[in-house]
A and B are shown apart, each in its own frame.
Chain A
Amino acid sequence: MNDNNENKSKTAGQLLREDFWEKKKNRKISPEIKEILEKNKEETLKKKDESNKKVARPHSPEAGV
């Protein structure tokens, strides 16, 4: 049975469902999205690290500061 005959025996709902799942299955990772998110994660971690450092270094009264 070729594709056309196969499609003729399927209902409208079946064909539309197949289209949808086919698109979902074939979706690809976008290098641009990945790059944005990696950069954002890196920057957030860096900021967090810097603010942790600030908190971790209390001012010494003996240093006269």
Chain B
Amino acid sequence: MLLKIEELEQKIAQNPALKIGCIVDTNVVFATSFPLDTYNDWGEEVFDSLHKLNIPIFTNLNVRSEFIDLNRRVLIPEGLIDFYDDYSEVLNGEIESSLKSLKTRKNKANTENRTFKFNDTDIKQFMQMFKKLEHSSGKDLWQLFCQYYLLPYIENAWEKAVQRMKINFLGTREIESKEYFDKHPSWENMVKIVGLSGIGSSDAMIINLFQESKIPLMITADVGVKNTLLDFMPAEKFVLAPSLTN
């Protein structure tokens, strides 16, 4: 069953099994940790409610690398625009025009209420362009850009998010303890989820974890995960998602 954030408290009162806990996916953790994400306010409200209601929050370890990768895809364009604003007086040529065009694309995304993300091709394009320019110290412009505009934001981002959002992990020990699990999540079931829904393997892994667990609630801000859960989830389980998911 699909839940809305404003229904959570009432549902918990009606269905105390929901107090067992919930599983969160990467998008929810990321949206709450990144102030410019479309779902930042929604994520804040979700975690605030969960903390007030003392509902334990779980995730798996895959989320950690997905979280860092999402940060990279969002923080690099964000940093490049700060870079453009900081050095606009000394910029010229290809770098200036590429950054100017990036700013226009990002402003358009903001107007359309979308979180602006780079793909690997975008990142490599700027990396190649910046690597052409070197400082006498031996460092190139890309290395310096990363040092000043990416590293300060990305290092400790995961640790802070986990600590502040009070996230617990469902690793092998927890799965084998049977406290939260009836069955062990399996590779075969994960592949079956991918095959039946077309979603990515990391999303399928967390869905499989949720399916095999006794945890009744999963929270996601990803439309693929939400749709797959609604298609395959048993009736006694719940999914909490924003009204409009990306």
- B33 & A16 in contact (Cβ 8 Å cutoff): yes
Minimum CB–CB distance from A42 to chain B (whole Å) comes to 9
- Give A41's nearest chain B residue, CB to CB: B92
- B43 & A13 in contact (Cβ 8 Å cutoff): yes
User: Is A19 among interface residues, defined by CB-CB distance under 8 A?
Assistant: yes
B residues within 8 A CB of A23?
A: 152-153
- A32 & B135 in contact (Cβ 8 Å cutoff): yes
- B139 & A32 in contact (Cβ 8 Å cutoff): yes
Q: Which secondary structure dominates where chain A touches chain B?
A: helix
- A11 & B82 in contact (Cβ 8 Å cutoff): no
- B165 & A12 in contact (Cβ 8 Å cutoff): yes
Question: Which bracket fits the contact residues of B?
Answer: 35 or more
- Name A10-58 residues within 8 Å CB distance of B: 11-17, 19-21, 23-24, 27-30, 32-38, 40-41, 44-45
- 12 extra interface residue pairs, beta carbon distance < 8 Å, beyond A17-B35, A34-B87: A11-B51, A13-B40, A13-B44, A14-B44, A16-B34, A23-B153, A27-B82, A27-B149, A30-B144, A33-B145, A36-B134, A37-B87
Binding site for B on A (CB under 8 A): 11-17, 19-21, 23-24, 27-30, 32-38, 40-41, 44-45
Binding site for A on B (CB under 8 A): 32-35, 40-41, 43-45, 47-48, 51, 82-83, 86-87, 90-93, 95, 133-137, 139, 141, 144-145, 147-149, 152-153, 160-161, 164-166
15 contacts between A and B (CB under 8 A): A12-B47, A12-B48, A12-B164, A13-B41, A13-B47, A16-B161, A27-B152, A32-B139, A33-B145, A34-B90, A36-B134, A36-B135, A37-B90, A38-B90, A40-B93
